Amino acid sequence: MWWPLSIDLACFRWINQTLSNPACDLLMPLLSDPKLVLLPALVAVPFLLWLGNARLRACLLFAIASVVLVESLVVGPLKQAIRRPRPAEFLPETRLLVGQGKPRSMPSGHAANSFTVVTVFLWFYRRKALLLLPVAGTIAFSRVYNGAHFPSDVLVGAILGTAGAGLTIWSADRRSEEHTSELQSRQVI
């Protein structure tokens, strides 16, 4: 067996089986449940966009745009291209605590989305947003614990989410600089 795959399988079995306990069996499926994030977000985001300051509004809009871009341009196409099966499809000992969702495993959309949001918040709020890193890490960990992904799936998802958000911010920042210099040059003339 190819050694990176054997490490991935060993880590998966350790997290999914050896670390299993009743408390995590209750908590981890909640962290993987999209309703836990989506329902409060559907209520909070419009409210914060309406009442929040300009910085918070910009942060939320960048986070939403970054998640949409990373999910639709990177994660979705990669899942279709790589076509890696989920753990329960070929490891009968998998403890599956949540539904498997779509049949493709690599990369993890949960990890990509949570790290995309954290990266955007880190850009806007620096140290204050560091508190969100353990949340994103725990969501990614829960995907392996729940049997929905291999560790490499969530690692790649986290890297893609971070890079995708960074690229979105960088390109918007660069475009803003170009626009500002263009406006300044017009005023000089």
C-beta of residue 151 within 8 angstroms of C-beta of residue 8: yes
Segment 161-169 shows an average pLDDT of 93
Q: What angle do CA 120, 69, 142 make, to 5 degrees?
A: 65
Kindly state the percentage of the chain with pLDDT values over 90: 53
Give the pLDDT confidence of 27-80 residue by residue, as tens digits: 999 888 877 777 777 777 777 777 778 888 888 888 989 999 999 999 999 999
Q: Is the pTM of this model over 0.95?
A: no
Task: Please give the backbone phi and psi of residue 37, each rounded to the nearest 5 degrees, phi first.
Answer: -100, -45
Q: What is the pLDDT of residue 2?
A: 76
